[in-house]
Homo-oligomer: A and B are copies of this chain.
Amino acid sequence: MATQRSENPTELKEEKIAIIGSGQIGGSWALLFASAGYQVALYDIIPDHVTRTLELLLDQLHTQSRDGLLRGTLAVEEQFGRIRGMQDLGECVTGAVWVQECVPEDLELKKQVLKEVDQHSSLDTIIVSSTSSILPSDLSRHLKHKDKFLVVHPTNPPSCSRVVELVPAPWTAAETLTRAQSLMKAIGQSPITLKKEIPGFILNRMQFAIMAESYRLVKGGFLSPDGVNKTLSAGLGRRYAFLGPFQTAHLNAEGFGSYCERYADTILRVQQSFGAPQQMGGALAEHIQEEMAKEVPLDKLGEARRRREAKMAALAKFKEDLDAVKL
């Protein structure tokens, strides 16, 4: 699968990006910024984790290169050479134009880390959390530079899905959002900017709406877990790979207004039948896991993730060609 395309050469940039936390998300961000030529400083409270992550990133770059999926035009060694492991948070943050916090999903931990970042930030530093589930206001209320704070939440896996959600706190400056949009575009991501914060942001609200209904359908005995998966992957998902919900509705009637006239009552009735929110877990979760493990056993998850990423990268390339044709 060769997806390298003719493009302008990636320029090496002076600007420094700080990544705090060297887990999977931190590592993915490091690669994204490095592939666009930025200087990346990578810090973790456990120094060994940085060392280990750097090794993994080099492996990932080689794999991307082998599969023709390397982003930008810099060679593997050039991209890897842009990333430096750091021993000290203050040193990592000092002089950075953008600090991407990627520590585990724990409010108190994130607040503590962001407070330290805040102390070492300059007036120009944009301070970003990668959180998927904590509201920006809860993370940034007490920061000195809270007008420079926002959440930038990537889609998983970030290396091959370009959508990122930009979520402002009530005090995030308009200029901070504009700069964040520009930087995300500069590294090849597609920013979706929320006008204000909401629990779960957009991606997870959509995803959890589907998950909630999927879980209720299996719990209610209407369909097997496999049937639910197939409904998305062989049915709706193919449409959603090209068209969002409003575009689909617009085409499925004589425009969105006529869609509402035709289907609003049905949609309301179905919504009213959705039933109560579910706490997922227990025996039903075990049953679903057993069903999923028939296809991908727990000890093969890593391989399945790599195949998923390769497929999604191939789809991205395929869609780029098709999207050149106007809707």
User: Hey, which bits of chain A sit against chain B, CB under 8 A?
Assistant: 133, 155-156, 161-163, 165, 190, 192-196, 198-200, 202-214, 217, 220-223, 225, 227-247, 249-252, 254-257, 260-261, 263-274, 277-281, 285-286, 288-289, 291-293, 295-296, 298, 301, 304-305, 307-308, 310-312, 314-316, 318-319, 322, 325-327
Contact = CB atoms under 8 A, between A and B. Distances in A.
A214 B267 CA distance: 13
A322 B238 CA distance: 14
Contact of A192 (B223, B305, B316, B326): B223
Contacts of A263: 280
B247 A155 contact: no
Nearest to A133: B266
A124 B234 CA distance: 31
Contacts of A296: 247, 250-251, 327
A67 B187 CA distance: 37
B322 A311 contact: yes
A270 to B, nearest CB: 4
A254 B211 contact: no
A194 B208 contact: no
Contacts of A277: 268, 271-272, 274
Contacts of A192: 223, 227, 230-231, 235
A231 B246 contact: no
A222 to B, nearest CB: 5
A195 B163 CA distance: 37
